[in-house]
Amino acid sequence: MKFIKNDLYSELLKLSCTKVCRIVTLLVIAVQSLISYVSARQILSVGLHAVPTETNGLLEPMPPIEYMGFDVIMFATIPMIVMGALFGALEFKQHCMRTTLLYFGSKSRLFWSKTLAVTLTAFAVSLVSSVLTITVTHLTFGADGLTPPVFNSTVWKFILMSAVSLTLLTLLSYAIGFLCHTAVVPLLFLIIQAYNIGNILADKFEVCRYLPVALCNGLIASSESSLSGVPLKNTVGLLIWIAIFAAASYAVFVRTDLQGEY
């Protein structure tokens, strides 16, 4: 048990000290909170209970107050994908995987320690950013908003779903990057989907609703229509994607000779 804690601590410390972790944390906490403030001010200028008219330009009525601010959390999707991809490819790119393996002494211990460290880091960043985003939103609403950090059970459920969604997407990006030894593949595969292409394909083709980013978006309460009616289905779908690539990553890693290139 002690060596598990030491392994995990080593990987958590390593990840938290990387430049990409600091930059992504700054983006999804500081910048996203600023965006949520600007967005909340815009909502106040229109009205919390506004409906579409010729003058306000709304396409649909304002959602219930429990949904307010969660559209801003979508901003974190791309930074978290980037973080996962770079985490997965980091030690292969820096040619220091052999050195890390000397410390762990086992490829299995190394792989699962890194995977758990990425999961915990992603969840911590996602949860903190989600809580701050919704807190800033409702503080900006003033008396018309909910009282942070109490909110209500619905808002806290949505916050947890958002954190889980972003964590799973980050973990998938990491698994693909680790498998391919490069960040390019997960970035191409996932970021293209994040630029609304995934939603467009999901609207046209039923099977595309099971693409990773579409599943992730269905767990974030950006609107009543976009939120999945069965969140468990989206969660299981993301877990299946992760299981496939994590299993492939592990199988390839334990059979790869790290001498020379890595």
pLDDT tier at 1, thresholds 50, 70, 90: low
- Taking alpha carbons only, the member of 189, 197, 169, 151 closest to residue 73 is 169
pLDDT at 20 over 80: yes
What whole-number distance in Å separates Cα of residue 139 and Cα of residue 214? 30
SS (H, E, C) the chain: CHHHHHHHHHHHHHHHCCHHHHHHHHHHHHHHHHHHHHHHHHHHHHCCCCCCCCCCCCCCCCCCHHHCCHHHHHHHHHHHHHHHHHHHHHHHHCCCHHHHHHHHCCHHHHHHHHHHHHHHHHHHHHHHHHHHHHHHHHHHHHHHCCCCCCCCHHHHHHHHHHHHHHHHHHHHHHHHHHHHCCCHHHHHHHHHHHHHHHHHHHHHCHHHHHCHHHHHHCCCCCCCCCCCCCHHHHHHHHHHHHHHHHHHHHHHHHHCCCCCCC
**Residue 125: exposure state from Cβ atoms within 10 A (0-12, 13-18, ≥19):** buried
Helices 77-93, 107-141: axis angle to 10 degrees equals: 160
Q: What is the pLDDT of residue 180?
A: 92
Q: What is the pLDDT of residue 55?
A: 59
How does the average pLDDT of the chain come out, rounded? Answer: 88
Positive or negative, the Cα torsion across 144, 162, 188, 192?
Answer: negative
What pTM value is reported for the model? Answer: 0.91
Mean pLDDT of 43-59: 74
pLDDT in tens, 62-82: 888 999 999 999 999 999 999
Is residue 147 within 8 A of residue 108, CB to CB? The reply is: no
Mean pLDDT of 131-136: 96
pLDDT at 53 over 80: no
Mean pLDDT of 14-33: 91
Tell me how far apart the 2 most distant CA atoms of the chain are, in Å: 67
What whole-number distance in Å separates Cα of residue 165 and Cα of residue 235? 7
What whole-number distance in Å separates Cα of residue 26 and Cα of residue 21? 9
What whole-number distance in Å separates Cα of residue 68 and Cα of residue 90? 36
